[in-house]
Amino acid sequence: MSVFGSIMSKIFHHPQAAQAQGQPQVAAQSPAAAAQSPAAAAQASAASATAQAPAAATPAPAVDVEAVLQAMAQDSGQTLDWRHSIVDLMKLLSIDPSLANRKQLAAELGYAGDTSDSAAMNIWLHKQVMAKLAENGGLVPDSLR
């Protein structure tokens, strides 16, 4: 998996992301429907499933990236500046923050600058990661971009 793919996976599949999106709601069966014959109940169930099918194709609500990262930071027990530092963001996500890994991430995201200037690359990486998270369904506040 790519480095960016790992970043997305850790954020978008975090329990906080699912909690923020909410669980699908199941309609309660009315007493009248419960009293129907089995054939009528099956027919009503099939009609209900057909009516709900288009809703299943609706995209899932966006993941609140900041809320997920805040929850992870609280659970980590470390003081990390993940809001500004790509190294700290990667540490928070338990992804190897080594220079080699950051260079790989830079290549994935199309960094055209000098990778030996790690300070400039790191600033660019953080901004790009946040922008790409937003492009892929994440709610990312402007303060993180």
Mean pLDDT score of the chain, rounded to an integer? 81
Residue 77 lies in a domain: yes
Residue 98 lies in a domain: yes
Residue 127 lies in a domain: yes
**Among the listed residues 141, 8, 26, 15, the one whose alpha carbon sits nearest the alpha carbon of residue 71:** 15
Give me the number of domains the chain comprises: 1
**φ, ψ for residue 13 (rounded to 5)?**
-105, 10
126 and 89 in contact (C-beta within 8 Å)?
yes
Q: Which domain holds residue 130?
A: 3-18+61-144
What pTM value is reported for the model? 0.73
Residue 128 lies in a domain: yes
Which tens digits make up the pLDDT trace of 96-136?
A: 999 999 999 999 999 999 999 999 999 999 999 999 999 99
Helical (H) or strand (E) element with 93? none
Residue 54 lies in a domain: no
> Model confidence at 18, in pLDDT bands (50, 70, 90)?
confident
